[in-house]
Amino acid sequence: MSKEELLKEYPIGSRIKLLKMDDIQAPPIGTLGTVIGVDDALSILVRWDNGSGLNVVYGEDKVELISIA
């Protein structure tokens, strides 16, 4: 998948919900956030509602698309 394809799937401003993230600093499961971009490593950049800025690793972490911007 390319960066452009991932941005089409998760456009900037879209809302997502965290389902799974294997990171000790991960926001709690169920946390909502707003997509702010995609980087060259195909991580989804998220501004989580709880203040966290931890990125979603595409293909490893699991999120649910709640609304598309």
Give the CATH number for residue 63.
Answer: 2.30.30.30
pLDDT at residue number 66:
96
pTM: predicted TM-score of the whole model, two decimal places: 0.92
Cα separation, 47 vs 15, whole angstroms:
10
**Closest among 20, 14, 19 to 33, alpha carbons compared:** 14
Q: What CA–CA distance (Å, rounded) separates 25 from 15?
A: 20
Q: Mind listing the pLDDT tens digit for each residue in 9-64?
A: 999 999 999 999 999 999 999 999 999 999 999 999 999 999 998 999 999 999 99
- How many domains does the chain contain in total? 1
Parent domain of 8: 3-67
